Amino acid sequence: MTLGIVVGATGGIGGACAKALAGSVTRMVVTGRDQAKLAAVAGEVGGNVTPVIADIATDAGRAAILQQVEGEELRWLVIASGAPLRGALDELDPAAIADTFQSNLVGPALLLRAVAEARWSNPASVAIIGSISATRAIAKRSVYAASKAGLERLAMSLGAEWAPRGIRVTVVAPGIIATPFLGTDQSRLDEWVKERVPSRRTGTPAEVADVVRYVVLDAPDYLIGARIAVDGGMEATA
């Protein structure tokens, strides 16, 4: 029996990752905070899928995820959860700042610390969904960018720590991807994308998920602590 876990499967990218990885393990666990969305994702994935309501930012949420690991061999883990936060730093509510770091960095770090003691297959993989915001200075994204930068560096360092155990850790950093995070002003977004993204279009969750499937299942063992940007060429031309 092998187990795969997608944390944050109710998001556009997380759900796409779950579908892309369908059939790669004996049982898949998908987690999220919205029961209806989680049930829909589980139905789309099909097969032996266990939906678990869990918020990675909380002790109870992480415990619910860890409970699923007991007695099974963990083949892969994808952390695709995250909380967006926009606004100038001096205008943001202090509680919102703390919550963003808890959701995007502290929660994932504590979950990874906990699953370090699980029984992993060999080989095994961890894929962390980062963001190009981690490497770009964008106004009104300071807290979100800092949380994702911390998460990416955590993952890269963990790649070096866990490589001797046969657990490969990589980061997939999406660019401008068509998810609700982008907001509702589509005409303004299209104009911005045409000016700043070499591909001249937004990406899709499925395109990010294809890269996640590659790093989880098909990448060579020598790809350790790597960061792959799926951004239509934005970082290449920055």
Mean pLDDT value across residues 119-145: 93
The two tokens of residue 47 are 């097969």
144 is catalytic: yes
Domain of residue 82, residue span: 2-237
The pLDDT, as a whole number, for residue 194 is: 85
**Model pLDDT, residue 181:** 66
Beta partners for residue 211, in sequence order: none
Torsion of CA 224, 15, 145, 150, to 10 degrees: -40
Please identify which of the residues 29, 144, 145, 230 carries the catalytic annotation.
144
- Confidence grade of residue 184 (pLDDT, cut at 50, 70, 90): low
Global pTM? 0.95
203, exposed or middle or buried, with CB in 10 Å at 0-12, 13-18, 19+?
Answer: buried
Could you tell me which residues come within 8 angstroms of residue 41 by beta carbon, excluding any fewer than 6 positions away? Answer: 9, 10, 14, 15, 18, 19, 30, 32, 51
Total tally of structural domains belonging to the chain? 1
Res 190: pLDDT: 79
CATH label of the domain that carries residue 95: 3.40.50.720
- Helix, strand, or coil (residue 4): strand
- What does the pLDDT average to over 125-149? 92
Q: How many Cβ atoms from other residues are within 10 Å of residue 165's Cβ?
A: 12
What is the pLDDT averaged over residues 152-177? 96
**Average pLDDT of span 202-207:** 94
Considering only 111-125, 154-168, 181-195, which range has the smallest mean pLDDT? 181-195
pLDDT number for residue 129 = 98
Q: Helix or strand or coil: residue 73?
A: strand
Please indicate whether residue 200 or residue 44 has the higher confidence score (pLDDT).
Answer: 44
Which amino acid, residue 59?
A: D
